[in-house]
Amino acid sequence: MMSYRLAGRLSFLAAALGASAAVQAASPTCQNTDAGESSMDNDGTAGGTTIVRSGTGHTAAVTREGDGTVRVEQHGKDHATLAVQSGDGSRLDISQTGVSVDAEVTQGGECNVSELVQAGSGSRAVVAQSGSGNRAVVRQGGAGNSVVVRQGAAREE
C-alpha cells in the first residue's frame, strides 16, 4: 500500500538530511535565477504547506522544520508524495496527475528550489537537495518514467 512505501523510505531521508547538516558551510546568498523566483529569506519566518487532492488513494507526508512553501497537488488516483524540508531558502512544488505516480523530495538547507510535474502513470521521481544554491526541475510525461536527482555540498571522506 502507498503508506508502506513512504514509511520504508523515511530512514533513508532522515539519513540524507543528517548528512547534509554535517557538511554545510556558511549559507550562500542566493539570487534570483529565473523570472518569478525570489532570493533567499534568512529570517526564518517563511511558511506554507498546501495539499490539494482529487481522485482516490492518495498519500502525502510532509515534514517541515523551517522555511518554506510546500505545495502538493495530486489528481487521478493512487499517488504518493513525501516531502521533507529543514531550513534555509526551501521551496517545493509537486503536481501529479494520472495513476500511481510517486515523488520524494528532501531539502536539507541552503537555497533550495524543487519543481516536479509528473503525468501519465507509474512514474517516480526522487530529489535530494542539501547545501549550497540548489535548484531542480523535473518534468515527466508518459508512463513508467524514473528520475533521481541529488544535489548538495561535497562530502568530506
Tens of pLDDT, residues 19-63: 444 333 444 577 544 433 333 334 444 578 888 888 899 999 998
Least confident among 65-69, 93-97, 102-106: 65-69
Q: Is residue 154 part of a domain?
A: no
Which domain, by its residues, includes 93? 2-24+46-149
61/123 Cα distance (integer angstroms): 18
Tens of pLDDT, residues 124-156: 999 998 888 889 999 999 999 999 999 876 555
Q: Which three cell numbers stand for residue 135?
A: 535548484
Q: Is residue 41 part of a domain?
A: no
Total domains in the chain come to 1
Q: Is residue 39 part of a domain?
A: no
CA torsion through residues 24, 38, 86, 84, sign = negative
Q: Is residue 102 part of a domain?
A: yes
